[in-house]
Amino acid sequence: MAPDRPAPRPARRIAWWAGCAATALVAAAGIWQIRAASAPPEGPPPLVAAPPPPPSPTGRALRAVLARRAPALDRSVPTKILIPSINLRAGLDTVGLRPDGTIETPPYERAHRAAWYRLGPAPGERGAAVLVGHVDSKKAVAVFWYLTRIVPGDEIQVTREDRRTALFTVTSIEEFTKTAFPTDRVYADPDTPQLRLVTCGGRWDPVRGEYPDNVVVFATLTGTA
């Protein structure tokens, strides 16, 4: 169980989270079931068919949605994430920090699940809650493969142990090089409940064996259920 409030912000090396590759096998229809394995990926798999993203809402429409910001919830461990626009439904594990101060990488054999950074706010709690997940595996897509198809205005639903569901509205989706990861912005401590989804992005580098970028989805709490 995490403390009532997150510990002081860890070393800035937390921004170097790059655990974006896993080993897995995916079922069809956008609901992924991944078999355990342990080897690192050799590169991204072929794109699995998915519906095109809907048009992004106008600035006025998005502002109208965000005007309905919901009050913060008490702390409760998140258990599931649902993003209807990309047909994503996944369980949530937790990650913390390694002894060297870097954020833990979700285990390879659970690449079909995302993970909550438990030393920060819980989704729905005041502040920026962070969920991380792999983008692909050695053989197939992983939980956050379709994250770049999200558009502002999309809804993200996070179910919690207290049986409340925090409803977030996406405000932006951005890509950053890992050497210029905006730590302060992603792990900020805003007065309102926020959500960040983080995965890898950019073109796979077969020489370095990694992706050069991070994709970050920014969202704000606009309702509860």
Higher pLDDT, 119 or 30: 119
- Predicted confidence (pLDDT) per residue in 185-198, tens digit: 998 889 999 999 99
How high is the mean pLDDT of the chain? 78
Q: Give the closest residue to 81 by CA, choosing from 41, 132, 44.
A: 132
CA distance 110 to 32: 11
23 within some domain: no
Least confident segment among 2-6, 69-73, 76-80, 207-211: 2-6
DSSP state of 108: G
User: Can you give the pLDDT at residue 58?
Assistant: 63
Question: Contact 94/112 with Cβ under 8 angstroms?
Answer: no
- Give the three-class secondary structure for 24: coil
203 within domain boundaries: yes
Number of domains making up the chain: 1
Least confident of 24-28, 93-97, 161-165: 24-28
10 occurs within a structural domain? no
Among positive and negative, which fits the CA dihedral 73, 76, 78, 79? negative
**SS3 state of residue 149:** helix
For 209, phi then psi, to 5°, come to 70, 40
Q: What b-and-e string marks burial along 183-212, b requiring 16 or more CB atoms within 10 Å of the CB? A: beebbeeeeebbbbbbbbbeebeeeeebbb
Rounded-to-integer distance, Cα 190 and Cα 86, Å: 27
In a domain, 83, yes or no: yes
Domain that holds residue 137: 57-224
Whole-angstrom Cα distance, residue 36 to residue 26?
11
Q: Which residue has the higher pLDDT, 144 or 56?
A: 144
Cβ neighbours around 76 below 10 Å, total = 17
The helix or strand, by DSSP H or E, that contains position 63, with its residue range, turns out to be helix 59-66
pLDDT at 171 over 50: yes
Let me know if residue 22 belongs to a domain. Answer: no
Separation of alpha carbons 113 and 90, rounded Å: 5
Residue 205 corresponds to which tokens in the numbers above?
A: 């580098």
pLDDT at 53 over 60: no
Average pLDDT value for residue range 108-127: 94
Distance CA 147, CA 83 (A): 9
146: closest CA among 32, 57, 15, 35?
A: 32
Q: Is residue 69 part of a domain?
A: yes
- pLDDT for residue 55: 59
Q: How confident is the model at residue 93 (pLDDT cuts 50, 70, 90)?
A: very high
Question: What integer pLDDT is reported at residue 61 of this predicted model?
Answer: 65
Domain assignment of residue 104, yes or no: yes
Query: The CATH number of the domain where 167 resides is what?
Result: 2.40.260.10
Cα–Cα dist 181/179, whole Å: 6
In a domain, 128, yes or no: yes
**Token representation of residue 158:** 């996070």
